[in-house]
A and B are shown apart, each in its own frame.
Chain A
Amino acid sequence: MDCYTANWNPLGDSAFYRKYELYSMDWDLKEELRDCLVAAAPYGGPIALLRNPWRKEKAASVRPVLDIYSASGVPLASLLWKSGPVVSLGWSAEEELLCVQEDGAVLVYGLHGDFRRHFSMGNEVLQNRVLDARIFHTEFGSGVAILTGAHRFTLSANVGDLKLRRMPEVPGLQSAPSCWTTLCQDRVAHILLAVGPDLYLLDHAACSAVIPPGLAPGVSSFLQMAVSFTYRHLALFTDTGYIWMGTASLKEKLCEFNCNIRAPPKQMVWCSRPRSKERAVVVAWERRLMVVGDAPESIQFVLDEDSYLVPELDGVRIFSRSTHEFLHEVPAASEEIFKIASMAPGALLLEAQKEYEKESQKADEYLREIQELGQLTQAVQQCIEAAGHEHQPEMQKSLLRAASFGKCFLDRFPPDSFVRMCQDLRVLNAVRDYHIGIPLTYSQYKQLTIQVLLDRLVLRRLYPLAIQICEYLRLPEVQGVSRILAHWACYKVQQKDVSDEDVARAINQKLGDTPGVSYSDIAARAYGCGRTELAIKLLEYEPRSGEQVPLLLKMKRSKLALSKAIESGDTDLVFTVLLHLKNELNRGDFFMTLRNQPMALSLYRQFCKHQELETLKDLYNQDDNHQELGSFHIRASYAAEERIEGRVAALQTAADAFYKAKNEFAAKATEDQMRLLRLQRRLEDELGGQFLDLSLHDTVTTLILGGHNKRAEQLARDFRIPDKRLWWLKLTALADLEDWEELEKFSKSKKSPIGYLPFVEICMKQHNKYEAKKYASRVGPEQKVKALLLVGDVAQAADVAIEHRNEAELSLVLSHCTGATDGATADKIQRARAQAQKK
């Protein structure tokens, strides 16, 4: 502990840099790193090595090997390279390995060496070959920039949405630039290149010469250039051993340094962090590592081995055959606490806690000191923050213990920052583990977010760890556990050596009814792998029919889709499948399918009723549904046929169908209608006038109104119109004609089956009180009062009502007594009532 700052190296007055080991690598490299193409992804990502590249004239028969390792050196994949010569390797933001071939083809591999896809950088690149290539990251994604043999640049800012851009020519460029890099400014990718003593900036439109401000004289060539992680800063290394550091816009110089080493460095990268005190660049030669910044002295390290630098957001990772180290500027909180003889509140709190554990009274002294200055809150915060930047769990714990101790003496310290830091560190320590091999720092983790970290764990197929983290952080299931299980299942269905049964069962066992898991997505993946049977099995578990059905249709399991759609009750879905089936199957099969699905059949009938009448007929025919066929033809007789003959023929078909359906009544009624139609035609021919399409009743009425009583009688007999209705009919018709004589004759022809009240009513309707009175006398006793009231004979009505001793009739009459004229009658009724009550 006493020499905790032993590995701290000051740079200038303000900043310290420290380098600590992340892992000791036992990846058993056979080759030297310098003999390989190397690509290491940022954010503690994987390392790809392509051994035995083509630049060495070794035996051409030996195929090179592409190896992928975790950052801790755990092998993830190893494959023989069977394609063309590779110029450059790089990782995309999604941790896909992009391999740029000499012919401009870019092959994309997954983390586990699985081939994903490939694309070409265009014809021009193909013709002129690739001289050099860089993979770079922008806010849109990952881009590829290519320098061709013709010294022209082509780039795509986002390989996910490939748009090739050929950069303008550099005038007079005869040889390859000594060094170049991609810059990203204002969301546009540029290329900065050095040719001899000159620098050029290429954007879409033009090539412009640029001069870094304050560049020392005497430069005849640039050997290296480096852009910072955030594209904000640029460093240039010249052949005079001079390093210029400034903004990437080349408008401002930050500082310069002369290292007096003229040998071209192997690598140069920026080493800074958000809110850095110092801007520094790390330069690596074969055996030497140098950190230079705005200070007269540099920090120097000796490299025992061939090493490779990986720039990170907040430092530089350095790995070699045996170790993996992290070099960074000591964060402010750590510096405050651990700086020798620091009196910062955090440092005092850490001391206080240590003394407390030793049960020494000094603890109280330290604590008092902090409290007197009123800096306890700040002290706790410092300890929490510093814990985040420590790599060793021991040191994290001791700082957190100090924070926790300090918290006890604070009244209202919000606990979230402490709790969150504990959680974050637990997650970080878990993923930093050697077996997992993601050496994220706290700042990187916050920049990456937990969601992306989970994605990366899923990408490494570390499902159990991902789930544990989700559960530990209590992430909502849909974002957390469910999502990971779904990924797991998608991976599982690709295991071709396991039987469909077992895979489906395993998946269902794990996933069960976990909310938010889309079985249809997993099934779609299985189908994508050519495992249709498995996909169907998986779809069984999908609760959402809306998701099941389209995939089933895609897999040509339309009948299954139909029953699923029916189960859901969603008729739109059923129609979707029906129309699909209709096109897919021949008519016979289609109808047969429908027959087994009553609900679908009735829906399809509905559809046909509106869209395809002929099909409807076929459907009924196939089912021997004669009743519906009959109705169908009846409708057709009205809708389609104009001529009488046609209509009668259609009706005949309908009648036949009704007979087949054993619907005697409908058949007879249809035949009657045919008879009536023919008859009406004859009537029109013989008598003129309009008879067609009248109802039987109206036909008879029309005949009577026309004075053809005989024919009317005949018709009524033929069609057996019931007596009652015939009476009504005649009564109405004769009253309409105002043929009172005939009406009276008719009324006396025999006893009326409808009584005589209707006669009274109809006469009154025609305002013929005289005639009405004739019939009123013939009305039966129970309706007599009503009839008398109708003809306005209130007095007699009263007499009858009194005679009947009917209370209801009495009040009815009473309600008809108006004013003075019927005063006497009203009195009479009242008297009768009184009498009735007495009795």
Chain B
Amino acid sequence: MESEGAFKECYLEGDQTSLYHAAKGLMTLQALYGTIPQIFGKGECARQVANMMIRMKREFTGSQNSIFPVFDNLLLLDRNVDLLTPLATQLTYEGLIDEIYGIQNSYVKLPPEKFAPKKQGDGGKDLPTEAKKLQLNSAEELYAEIRDKNFNAVGSVLSKKAKVISAAFEERHNAKTVGEIKQFVSQLPHMQAARGSLANHTSIAELVKDVTTSEDFFDKLTVEQEFMSGIDTDKVNNYIEDCIAQKHPLIKVLRLVCLQSVCNSGLKQKVLDYYKREILQNPTDISYVYSGYAPLSVRLAQLLSRPGWRSIEEVLRILPGPHFEERQPLPTGLQKKRQPGENRVTLIFFLGGVTFAEIAALRFLSQLEDGGTEYVIATTKLMNGTSWIEALMEKPF
């Protein structure tokens, strides 16, 4: 159920098809994994999805669902409750891969040069020209470990891993008896897989590093940080100006302008007109591809689990759209008796898209020892600022 245009359709075009499908999907999910007893939500679309779900439930009366519920809560979040997070550059390992190369359905296509097999006498003649396609998911032990880490921490993990693996390979010299050698051989496939995985991620990390150490990336990040700290958000920004003048990709420019606008709660007409004029006079082709800031969306999820939204009524009122709480009564037989130490399971549905960094933050939340909540994430689209803006742009027709 991937709909890139969900955000645009819902907020710009008033087309709720994707919300209907989201509600349908949630009903199917409930049919398979039990009725979710509590629904929380924030935002106009969330309200609509909840309404549709209640309506559909009414339509289905008669076929009582008798599956023991897997989820305790459902949290519906509108993307427009937190527009800032996707606009900012993601700084986790996975987030950066997505920002730079774009992850499509857990696959990423990378430039092949770094992955060329290093053979002697090759002379670099037949370098592969086709993009290298890699699958990224937590089935890969190493990736599971580093995907949610801030990129700065990835290097040390990789070098540590490298030492461990080469040490493991050295073991073979110590293997004296047939039994020992057999044991070593039995571990070989696993070790080789680990070595392959390490090689891949070292290459990816190098690729990513090339970008993150560039002057321009640093400048962009600085501007983002300034915006998020509220510095000079009401003036025309030099860096953005320079980007336009230097024909930086349009999406990058738009993304920064949007970020500035969100941080400033809207731009002054004069500033906006200036940007518009600049972009109009010097448009560019559409042909390119968080430290210290906790995403608001994730904060909302965190506060829901403890102490509850009632403590932040004031804040919720400032955010756009209504917030609500619905209960779906369960037959007594299906009500859960929680064992002490057993985690609650919350399903979070991001209406309009979610970024890898937000997912990483939620994973972090559920790993906190006293968190007590496991999160399962659903969305209309896995996105980043670039793909988001791209989807928002009008296709010429």
Contact = CB atoms under 8 A, between A and B. Distances in A.
A695 B281 contact: yes
A318 to B, nearest CB: 45
B123 interface: no
B58 A543 contact: yes
A569 B55 contact: yes
B66 interface: no
Contact of A516 (B17, B62, B280): B62
B58 A635 contact: no
A571 B276 contact: no
B15 A569 contact: no
Interface stretch (A293-301, A373-381, A597-605, A737-745): A597-605
Interface in A556-605: 567-572, 598-599, 601-603, 605
Interface in B231-249: 241-242, 244-246
A569 B245 contact: no
Interface string B275-300: 01110111100000000000000000
Contacts of B13: 602, 605-606
A547 to B, nearest CB: 9
Nearest to B48: A569
A638 B58 contact: no
Interface string A689-715: 000000111100000000000000000
Interface string A711-734: 000000001011011001100100
Contact of B242 (A478, A669, A719, A728): A728
Given A515-B61, A638-B396, A719-B281, A728 B245 contact: yes
Contacts of A602: 13-15
B305 interface: no
Nearest to A726: B245
B23 to A, nearest CB: 7
A543 B57 CA distance: 9
A205 interface: no
Interface string B55-84: 100110111100000000000000000000
Given A568-B55, A569-B52, A599 B273 contact: no
Contacts of B52: 568-569
Given A515-B61, A665-B276, A719-B281, A603 B55 contact: no
Contacts of A569: 16, 19-20, 23, 48, 51-52, 55
Given A543-B59, A543-B61, A725-B244, A571 B281 contact: no
A665 B13 CA distance: 23
Q: Most A CB atoms within 10 A — which of B48, B273, B281, B283?
A: B281
A598 B58 CA distance: 25
Interface string B312-326: 000000000000000
A301 B259 CA distance: 103
A669 B283 contact: no
B15 A696 contact: no
B15 A721 contact: no
A724 B48 contact: no
Contacts of B62: 477-478, 482, 515-516
A669 B397 contact: no
A673 B280 CA distance: 9
A724 B16 CA distance: 44
A459 B69 CA distance: 42
Given A543-B58, A725-B244, A697 B15 contact: no
A728 B16 CA distance: 45
A408 interface: no
B15 A571 contact: yes
A808 to B, nearest CB: 11
A724 B280 CA distance: 16
A669 B278 CA distance: 11
A179 B17 CA distance: 70
Contacts of A638: 396
A544 interface: yes
Given A571-B15, A725-B245, A696 B55 contact: no
Contacts, number: 90
B244 A543 contact: no
A501 interface: no
A599 B397 CA distance: 23
Contact of A598 (B14, B64, B282): B14
B240 to A, nearest CB: 11
B297 to A, nearest CB: 24
Interface string A237-269: 000000000000000000000000000000000
Contacts of A568: 52, 55
A13 to B, nearest CB: 57
A816 to B, nearest CB: 13
A639 interface: yes
Nearest to B9: A606
Interface in A50-97: none
A698 B276 CA distance: 17
Interface string A665-688: 100010011000000000000000
Interface in A464-515: 477-478, 482, 513, 515
Nearest to A567: B55
B14 A639 contact: no
Given A515-B61, A516-B62, A719-B281, A603 B14 contact: yes
A544 B63 CA distance: 14
Nearest to B61: A515
Nearest to A542: B59
Contacts of A216: none
B246 A669 contact: no
Interface in B246-287: 246, 273, 276-278, 280-283
Nearest to B53: A569
A754 interface: yes
A692 to B, nearest CB: 15
A398 B84 CA distance: 82
A725 B276 contact: no
Contact of A543 (B23, B55, B63, B283): B55
Given A513-B61, A598-B14, A606-B15, A570 B20 contact: yes
B281 A697 contact: yes
B282 A603 contact: no
A673 B397 CA distance: 20
A599 B14 contact: yes
Interface in B7-54: 13-17, 19-20, 23, 48, 51-52
B207 to A, nearest CB: 20
Given A602-B13, A665-B276, A754-B242, A544 B59 contact: yes
Nearest to B279: A695
Contacts of A725: 241, 244-245, 278, 281-282
A669 B48 CA distance: 38
Nearest to B244: A725
A101 B245 CA distance: 96
Interface string A608-642: 01000000000000000000000000010011000
A223 B14 CA distance: 82
B279 to A, nearest CB: 10
A635 B397 contact: yes
A38 to B, nearest CB: 44
B48 A665 contact: no
Contacts of A478: 62-63
A835 to B, nearest CB: 28
B272 to A, nearest CB: 9
A603 B13 CA distance: 8
B340 to A, nearest CB: 37
A729 B245 contact: yes
Contacts of B277: 665, 669
A513 B59 CA distance: 10
8 contacts: A478-B63, A569-B19, A635-B397, A665-B276, A672-B280, A673-B280, A721-B281, A732-B246
Closest 9 CB pairs of A and B: A515-B62, A602-B14, A697-B282, A728-B245, A516-B62, A571-B17, A696-B281, A515-B61, A725-B245
Given A478-B63, A729-B245, 7 more contacts: A543-B59, A569-B55, A570-B20, A599-B16, A606-B13, A696-B280, A719-B281
